[in-house]
Amino acid sequence: MRISHRKKKEEPKKLYYFNEGITVPEVFVLGTEGESLGVQKTGEAIRMARAQELDLVEINPKASPPVARIMDYGQFRYQQEKEMRIRKAHQHVVKTKGVRLSLRIGINDREIRKNQTLKFLDEGQKVKVEVFLRGRENQQWQMAVEQVKAFVSEIGKVVNIRVEQGAEKQGNLVTSIITKA
């Protein structure tokens, strides 16, 4: 299996405009406790926020008129980043692990691959079972399909699994994807 060294794209950060960054002429203003202060001119709302030594932050730019709240922008941004870190820590990313067999695999090697597969499934990962065909082995791809099916059924006897992709030929590979049910 080829390893990719590309950097993962991070989700775009949500941009909040504040103070002079707000370009609309009027905004619906919320106070520090969330109370409604009504629709006001942007400059006047910024002056109100500065009088309290706080910032005017545009919360919902798509509303008509846009909703802005009087608050401390630095503290608000810190809370947003903290929530994002917590969400990222709690998410479980399922990776696909690969187990490669061959037409001429030995009994002990097959047992090792079986143990690896069981370990991956216990960790909650998906497992891609593949047989790589070289040269004249490409003519015997039906044997590779049977070998993958036999391997998957062998795993199925030990652990309750779900086959996400049945054994199929893709170029010079025969692959199947399984996961724990």
How much is the pLDDT for 95?
84
How much is the pLDDT for 158?
92
How much is the pLDDT for 11?
59
Q: Are residues 112 and 161 in the same domain?
A: yes
User: Rounded to an integer, what distance in angstroms lies between the CA atom of residue 166 and that of residue 176?
Assistant: 5
Phi, psi (deg, nearest 5) at residue 71: -165, 175
Specify the pTM.
0.54
Average pLDDT per run of 10 along the chain, which is 181 residues long?
65 76 91 90 92 91 90 91 88 85 92 94 92 89 92 92 90 92 83
Strands of 55-60's sheet, edge to edge?
Answer: 36-41, 26-30, 67-71, 55-60
Task: Take residue 112 and report the two structure tokens written for it.
Answer: 């090792």
Question: Smallest Cα–Cα separation from 23: which of 51, 52, 56, 49?
Answer: 56
Q: How many domains does the chain have?
A: 2
56 — alpha (psi -120 to 50), left (phi > 0) or beta?
beta
Omega before residue 66 within 30° of 0, cis: no
Pairing of strands 67-71, 26-30: parallel
User: Residue 63: which domain range?
Assistant: 19-89
With tokens 């691959």, the residue in question is 113
How much is the pLDDT for 124?
87
Max CA pair span of the chain: 81
Of 72, 89, 106, the residue at which a domain comes to its end is 89
Q: Are residues 107 and 173 in the same domain?
A: yes
Of 65, 89, 113, the residue at which a domain comes to its end is 89
Instruction: Tell me if 174 is assigned to some domain.
Output: yes
Q: Are residues 172 and 136 in the same domain?
A: yes
Task: Take residue 72 and report the two structure tokens written for it.
Answer: 């401390």
How much is the pLDDT for 68?
93
Q: Are residues 74 and 132 in the same domain?
A: no
Q: Are residues 57 and 117 in the same domain?
A: no
How much is the pLDDT for 140?
86
